[in-house]
Amino acid sequence: MKAVILAGGFGTRLAEETHNKPKPMIEIGGKPLIWHIMKIYSHYGINDFIICLGYMGYYIKEYFNNYFLHTSDVTLDFSNNSTIVHSRSAEPWKVSLIDTGINTMTGGRIKRIEPYIEEEDFLLTYGDGVSNVNIQETIDFHLKHKKAATITVVQPAGRFGSVVLGEDKGVSVFKEKPAEESGWINGGFFVLNRSIFNYIQNDATTWERDPLERLSADKELLAYQHKGFWQPVDTLRDKKLLETLWQENNPAWKVW
């Protein structure tokens, strides 16, 4: 299967980092976020990627076009205009970089890469979140139930603790809200059949709205429940959290 990564958004809620680069290129442990996502898929043998570009797409193109330069030691010999790469850090990846427009919505970006999907089923995720979700299990779940779409759902940990007050207004209980008390939300790791393209109209279509709602109404959308680690990068706080976990050698998403 191919894995499609949506990497064209503006990332406005993380303007501190995205004013000069697209959000998937924000670095965690010295590597772009999109690299971490691709390593997760590659661990499960998924090495053929389609990246949907938009905002500052050239930044992502430059990174992959000069991948050896970014990840290996090199000697540049200006006398004969040659480059020698030392200690090659190669990945078994095939990467298609597709310009899907600056202002195109998520559904529109998916629709634009339809010509590049020859297989019956493919994978989809966003370029701004990591997880230790078992990709192979999501594929098996999807193929077993033979629906048009499988969505991975997660229970995010509550950011705010709960306080119970006594009759005298004293705090009798204070506890962090556990993840299991949260509702299930879209975790961003999809397995899709080609038939989903029929649910997308044009560039203005938002994947998370009309297409998913119609798939649900048609009983063509099933949920794979993931109870493990999941973390989007929507704010600077999220980015710092992942960086801390990486520096502490405790990145739960590092399944490779």
Q: Could you give the number of structural domains in the chain? A: 1
Rounded CA separation 202/106 (Å): 10
CATH, residue 52? 3.90.550.10
Rounded CA separation 100/112 (Å): 6
Is 170 a domain residue? no
Return per-residue pLDDT of the chain as tens, 256 residues: 999 999 999 988 888 888 889 999 999 999 999 999 999 999 999 999 999 999 999 999 999 998 888 888 888 899 999 888 886 667 999 999 999 999 999 999 999 999 999 999 999 999 999 999 999 999 999 999 999 999 999 998 766 566 666 666 565 555 555 555 668 999 999 999 999 999 999 999 999 999 999 999 999 999 999 999 999 999 999 999 999 999 999 999 999 9
Is 121 a domain residue? yes
Is 165 a domain residue? no
Cα-based torsion angle of the residue sequence 255, 40, 138, 200 in order, rounded to the nearest 10 degrees? 160
C-alpha pair distances (Å), 48 with each of 7, 36, 96: 16, 15, 8
CB neighbours (10 Å) of residue 194? 14
Encoded tokens for 74: 């090199």
Is 163 a domain residue? no
Is 171 a domain residue? no
Q: Give 158-174 pLDDT, tens digit per residue.
A: 665 666 666 665 655 55
Determine the structural domain holding residue 58 and report its residue range.
2-155+183-247
Are the C-beta atoms of 146 and 172 separated by less than 8 Å?
no
Is 198 a domain residue? yes
Is 253 a domain residue? no
Is 194 a domain residue? yes
